[in-house]
C-alpha cells in the first residue's frame, strides 16, 4: 500500500510533539456502565453533552492530537450547535472513529473471541470520512489463562486486524491497530510479556502479508503488566518489560505507539508511560497515550451529568491530559498530581 499525502498529513498531526490520543469511543453498553458508576443516566442527550464537554475544553488541543469516537458521536453537535468533528478540527484535533463491531466466539477454542465487523467496512468508511473522520480504530482482545490465548485465536485476530488496516488505508485513512492483551487474571509480568510478544509478532506478520504501509498506521498495544490480582510493579519494571517486547516485535517504520491504559488507574498509567519514555536504549517510535478511562474517570467524577459542573470537569480533563503529555516526553513527576487536583 502506498502512503498518500492525506495519510502522511494525518500521521504528522497525530504524532505532534507533546500530544496524545483520547479514546472516547465507548459502545452504548460500555458508556452506560462508565456513566452510571457516577450516577449519570446514559441517555443520548447525556452522551452528546459529555462528548461536547470533552471536545470544547479550552486548550485541550495543546495536549490531545486526536479523539476516537463511537459512530453516534460523528453526527452529534456541541452545545453551541457546531458538529463535533468540526469542533475537533477547529481545536487542531483529528477526529477518528471506532469501526469494529465487537467480539464473537471463535468456534472450538474454549470460548476465545475474534473481533467482527469487516463486512461492508469499506462502504462504512466512505460514510465516516464524509462526516469528517480521518483515522480509525479496531480492537482485538486476548485473555491470558493457562493455555490461552491459543495459536488459532492469535492467528485469527491478527488476520482480521491486518485486513481491517488494509481496507482503511485503501480509503486514505490511518488505521489504529489495537491488539490488547487483557490485565484480567493472576498471571505474572513474564507471562504477559510472553503473550504480548507472540501476539504482536503475529500481527506484524499479517500486516506485511496484506501490504499495509507500516509508516501509515498507529499501534495501540497494552503495556506489559501482571494480572490485576497481583501487586503493581514499579514503573521502571513495566518500562523494562514493555520496551523489550516492543524492540523485538515492532518495526522502526511504525511512526507511533500509543498505549492503552487497560484498567490501570489514571496515576499508574501516567507514571508507567513516563518511565517508558525515560528508559535508556533505542526507541525509534513516538511513545504516547491513547487512554480512555485513565483520562476520563476524573472528568466524569467532576461532571456528574450536571451543567453547572462543566467547567470543573473540563479543568479535570485538561489537567489529566497535561500530565500525560508530560509523561509522553518523560517530564512527569508524581508531585504534579497534587498540582492538578
Residue-level pLDDT at 341: 53
Of residues 178, 156, 157, 174, the one with CA closest to residue 166: 174
Phi, psi of 130 (to 5 degrees): -65, -25
* pLDDT surpassing 90 at residue 1: no
User: Which pLDDT tens digit goes with each residue over 186-237?
Assistant: 999 999 999 999 999 999 999 999 999 999 999 999 999 999 999 999 999 9
pLDDT band at 182 (very low <50, low <70, confident <90, very high): very high
Residue-level pLDDT at 206: 98
Phi, psi of 186 (to 5 degrees): -120, 25
* Preceding amide of 149 cis, omega within 30: yes
Q: Which three cell numbers stand for residue 176?
A: 489504529
Query: How large is the angle between the packed helices 28-36 and 293-303, nearest 10 degrees?
Result: 50
Residue-level pLDDT at 324: 98
Q: Which three cell numbers stand for residue 206?
A: 499479517
Buried b / exposed e along 19-48 (16+ C-beta atoms within 10 A): bbbbbbbbeeeebbebbeeeebebeeeebb
Query: What architecture (CATH level 2) is domain 5-332?
Result: Alpha-Beta Barrel (3.20)
- What amino acid positions are annotated as catalytic residues? 178, 220
User: Which pLDDT tens digit goes with each residue over 126-154?
Assistant: 999 999 999 999 999 999 999 999 999 99
Q: Which three cell numbers stand for residue 312?
A: 470543573
Of residues 2 and 133, more confidently modeled: 133
Q: Measured between alpha carbons, how far is 217 from 280 in angstroms, rounded to an integer?
A: 25
pLDDT band at 338 (very low <50, low <70, confident <90, very high): confident
User: Which pLDDT tens digit goes with each residue over 278-313?
Assistant: 999 999 999 999 999 999 999 999 999 999 999 999
Distance of CA 247 to the CA centre of its chain: 20
Q: Measured between alpha carbons, how far is 171 from 133 in angstroms, rounded to an integer?
A: 11
* pLDDT surpassing 80 at residue 24: yes
The length of the chain is 341
Find the Cα–Cα–Cα–Cα dihedral 227, 242, 270, 330, rounded to 10°.
Answer: 160
pLDDT band at 340 (very low <50, low <70, confident <90, very high): low
Amino acid at each position: 500500500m502506498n502512503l498518500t499525502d492525506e495519510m502522511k498529513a494525518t500521521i504528522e498531526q497525530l504524532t505532534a510533539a507533546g500530544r496524545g490520543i483520547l479514546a472516547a469511543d465507548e459502545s452504548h453498553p460500555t458508556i452506560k456502565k462508565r456513566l452510571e458508576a457516577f450516577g449519570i443516566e446514559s441517555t443520548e442527550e447525556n452522551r452528546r453533552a459529555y462528548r461536547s464537554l470533552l471536545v470544547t475544553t479550552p486548550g485541550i488541543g495543546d495536549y490531545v492530537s486526536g479523539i476516537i469516537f463511537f459512530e453516534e458521536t460523528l453526527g452529534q453537535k456541541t452545545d453551541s450547535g457546531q458538529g463535533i468533528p468540526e469542533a475537533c478540527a477547529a481545536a487542531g484535533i483529528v477526529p477518528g472513529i471506532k469501526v469494529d463491531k465487537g467480539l464473537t466466539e471463535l468456534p472450538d477454542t474454549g470460548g476465545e473471541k475474534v473481533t467482527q465487523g469487516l463486512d461492508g467496512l469499506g462502504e462504512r468508511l466512505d460514510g465516516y470520512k464524509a462526516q469528517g473522520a480521518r483515522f480509525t480504530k479496531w480492537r482485538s482482545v486476548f485473555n491470558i489463562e493457562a493455555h490461552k490465548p491459543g495459536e488459532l485465536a492469535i492467528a485469527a485476530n491478527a488476520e482480521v486486524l491486518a485486513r481491517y488496516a488494509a481496507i482503511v488505508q485503501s480509503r486514505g485513512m490511518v488505521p489504529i491497530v489495537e491488539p490488547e492483551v487483557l490485565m484480567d487474571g493472576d498471571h505474572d509480568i513474564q507471562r504477559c510479556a510472553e503473550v504480548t510478544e507472540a501476539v504482536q509478532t503475529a500481527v506484524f506478520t499479517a500486516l506485511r502479508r496484506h501490504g499495509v504501509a507500516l509508516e501509515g498506521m498507529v499501534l495501540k498495544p497494552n503495556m506489559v503488566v501482571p494480572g490485576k490480582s497481583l501487586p503493581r510493579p514499579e514503573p521502571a519494571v513495566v518500562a523494562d518489560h514493555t520496551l523489550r517486547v516492543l524492540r523485538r516485535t515492532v518495526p522502526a517504520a511504525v511512526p507511533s505507539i500509543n498505549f492503552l491504559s487497560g484498567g490501570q488507574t489514571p496515576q499508574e498509567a501516567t507514571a508507567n508511560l513516563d518511565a517508558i519514555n525515560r528508559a535508556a536504549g533505542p526507541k525509534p517510535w513516538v511513545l504516547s497515550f491513547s487512554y480512555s478511562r485513565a483520562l476520563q474517570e476524573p472528568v466524569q467524577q467532576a461532571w456528574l451529568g450536571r451543567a453547572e459542573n462543566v467547567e470543573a470537569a473540563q479543568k479535570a480533563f485538561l489537567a489529566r491530559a497535561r500530565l500525560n503529555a508530560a509523561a509522553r516526553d518523560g517530564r512527569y513527576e508524581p508531585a504534579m498530581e497534587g498540582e492538578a487536583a
